Amino acid sequence: MAFYADTAARANPLVLIHSINAVPSAMEVKPLFEHFRSTRPVFAPELPGFGASDRNDRDYTAQFFAESLCDFVDEIGVGKVDVIAMSLSCEFAARAAGLAPQLFRSLSLVSPTGFSKITPMEGAPGARIEAVLRTPVIGPGLYRLLTTKPSIRYFLAKNLDGPVPVEMVEYASKTAHQPGARYAPSVFLSGRLFTPNATASLYAPLQLPGLVIYDQDPNVSFDTLPQFIEEKDNWQIARIAPTKGLPHFEKLDRVVAALDGFWGNPVTAPTQALLNAYAHHRQ
């Protein structure tokens, strides 16, 4: 696993985990990395099959990604970590915390999957999509079409209200055009990485503190979230509106305020006002 790190600060360590799509990478968490690197050790791994990590043709599963996260946290050897995860990787992080609770201090989930009434991509011809992408002749060409810069820019724009950062497009394009880059995305497009009924099977059993940050993600719904929060005293929510799937690119100050409040860090008066607003929304 490739990863970025800044370990100069002394505080509780923080691990940032990118989302899962055709071209994800640690670039998706850069605003959070840059903000927190001055006050705490920060790590931003790129999951196997994505970014600059190994792109081997292996059996990518939710369990494999969860175990990879556990191995990563164990090997960096910094003790319990706070985790901020994006989208489908929230399910992997929750699964990892269930496998090795001694490694994790808290989970913060940004626009997480697993709170919809149906599993995303349910009913899609996933097996056929994966089979086509894995063919030696058609697969590489089709993946190249999916990962052209205009295509990358189009899909990123769906998750942002403002302009798409040029460096995100450039980095995604660069990492998507290396040998084996299509294998892990093909499994994602098959729908096999989503856990059915993740609310009950992954999130509900966790005893550590959890925070859900969300608003109007074009790819994810949060149907079961209100009831889940009502029943779980160790979980909180923060709705950062108006945002889409990457709120830390558009409302970084409000995302940081929600995180600091959740972690119990000292807050300023303006930050406390924001937290009061979140608490009112929760009620």
Residue-averaged pLDDT of the chain: 89
Strands 210-214 and 81-86: unpaired
- pTM to 2 decimal places: 0.90
What CATH number was assigned to the domain covering residues 3-282? 3.40.50.1820
Which letter, b or e, does each residue of 157-173 get, where b requires 16 or more Cβ atoms within 10 Å of its Cβ?
eebbeeebbeebbebbb
Residue 121's pLDDT is: 60
pLDDT score of 179 more than 80: yes
Can you read off the two tokens belonging to residue 40? 């705490």
Mean pLDDT in residue range 220-230? 94
State in Å, rounded, how far the first CA of the chain is from the last one.
Answer: 41
pLDDT score of 274 more than 50: no
Say what percent of the chain tops pLDDT 90: 77
* pLDDT band, very low/low/confident/very high, at 265 (cuts 50, 70, 90): low
Residue 89's pLDDT is: 98
Per residue in 146-157, pLDDT (tens digit) is 899 999 999 999
Task: Report which of residues 23 and 277 the model is more confident about.
Answer: 23
Task: Report which of residues 75 and 138 the model is more confident about.
Answer: 75
Residue 125's pLDDT is: 62
Q: How far apart are CA 209 and CA 262, in angstroms?
A: 9
* Domain locations in the chain as residue ranges: 3-282
Mean pLDDT in residue range 190-199? 92
pLDDT score of 283 more than 50: no
pLDDT score of 86 more than 70: yes
Per residue in 126-165, pLDDT (tens digit) is 667 777 777 877 878 888 888 999 999 999 999 998 889 9
Report the DSSP beta bridge partners of residue 17.
85
pLDDT score of 245 more than 80: yes
110: exposed, middle or buried (Cβ count in 10 Å: 0-12, 13-18, 19+): buried
